[in-house]
Amino acid sequence: MEDGNMMAQTRTKRVVVKIGTSSLIYPDGKVNLQTIDRLAYALTALQNQGCEVLLVSSGAIGVGLDMLGQHERPAAIAGQQALAAIGQSQLMSLYTRRFTDYGTMVGQLLLTYDVFDYPVSRIHVLDTIEALLAQNIIPVINENDSVATDEMDHRTTFGDNDQLSALVARQVDADVLIIMSDIDGLYNVDPRKYADAHLLHHVTRVTDAILAGASGSSTRFGTGGMVTKLKAANTMITAGKTMVLVNGADPRVVLRVMAGEDIGTRFAPANKMPHAQSAQSR
C-alpha cells in the first residue's frame, strides 16, 4: 500500500487546490483558523513530497464581513468590492503567517477574466506562476473582486472560483484539480431531500441529467454551488485532466486524495480511470 501511495504522488506532479468560503468561514461568520492552519500544513506536506502546488482561495468577502462585524453581503456591488478589498488583505496575512509556520512561502495573484483573454497578459501571468513554483513558493490565487465586473463588451469576472480554479488548472497544465467544499462529493440525488441518496465516486461525463439535479450555493457567504463545480469538472474532463471534489472540513484530506485514496467524487476521462465505471445519476 505504501509503495502504491508513493507511485500515485510521483505520477501527479502539479496540483491545483481550491478551497471555498464555506470551508474557511464558520456558519456564524467567524474565520475558521483551524482550517487555515490545516490547509497550510497539508499543502506544505504536498510540496515536501515533490508536488508543485497552487492554491485558489475564496473567502475575501467572508473575512471582510467578519472583520467589520457584519453578517450579510451588501446588495450594492461597490459594497461587496469594498469588503473584498478589506478581507483579501487579512486573508493573505493569515495565509502568510500559517504557511510561514511550516516553512513555506506564498505569493498572491489577483486575476480578472481578461488576463487569460489577451495573449500578452496571459503569458506574463503564467510566467509569474512558473517563477513562483520554481522557487517553491505556493501561488495563492483569487479573483480580483474589487475591480472585476461584467460589462456589455468587456468581461472581467470569472463568476465564481470553481470556474477560476478549473481555468487555472487547465492553463498551467495541472495533473489534478482538488475542490474542497462543504459537501462530501456528488450524489445521485440531493442527500438533503432523499434519504437513499448515494455518493458517486467516479464520473467520466457530466451529463444533462447530472446537471439537472444540481442545486445552488448552500451558504450565505459563498457564491458557488454544485452547478459551478460540475462546470469546473467538465472543463477538466474535456482537457483530459482529473478533478476531485471532497469535503474541506479538514483540508488534510488533500493528502489522502494525492495518496490515491478513493474519497469524494473523482471526475476524469474514462482512460484516466481504468478500474472504474462511469457513474450515472438516476
Residue 275 forms part of a structural domain: no
Residue 244 forms part of a structural domain: yes
Residue numbers in the known binding site for ATP are 18, 181-182, 223-229
Residue 121 forms part of a structural domain: yes
Q: Quick one: cell of 101?
A: 509556520
Looking at every residue in the chain, the average pLDDT score rounds to 85
Residue numbers in the known binding site for substrate are 58, 145, 161
Query: In the chain, what is the straight-line distance between the N-terminal and C-terminal CA atoms, in Å?
Result: 34
The predicted model gives 104-131 an average pLDDT of 92
Query: Is 200 in contact with 185 (CB distance < 8 Å)?
Result: yes
Looking at residue 123, which CATH number applies to its domain? Answer: 3.40.1160.10
Residue 280 forms part of a structural domain: no
Q: By C-alpha distance, which of 192, 198, 174, 266 is closest to 229?
A: 266
Residue numbers in the known binding site are 18, 58, 145, 161, 181-182, 223-229
Q: Give the β-pairing of 242-247 and 176-181.
A: parallel
Residue 274 forms part of a structural domain: no
Residue 231 forms part of a structural domain: yes
Q: By C-alpha distance, which of 20, 13, 14 is closest to 142?
A: 20
Residue 278 forms part of a structural domain: no
pLDDT category of residue 159 using cuts at 50, 70 and 90: low
- List Cβ neighbours of 227 (8 Å cut-off, separation of 6 or more): 211, 214, 215, 216
pLDDT in tens, 137-146: 999 999 886 6
Q: Quick one: cell of 43?
A: 499543502
pLDDT in tens, 33-84: 999 999 999 999 999 999 999 999 999 999 999 999 988 888 888 888 898 8
Q: What is the pTM of this model?
A: 0.86
Q: For the chain, how many residues are written?
A: 282
Q: How many Å apart are CA 168 and CA 55, to the nearest integer?
A: 10
Cα angle at 131 between 168 and 10, to 5 degrees?
70
Percent of the chain with pLDDT over 90: 60
Q: How many Å apart are CA 157 and CA 221, to the nearest integer?
A: 18
Residue 205 forms part of a structural domain: no
Q: Which domain holds residue 184?
A: 2-199+214-267
Q: Number of structural domains, the chain?
A: 1
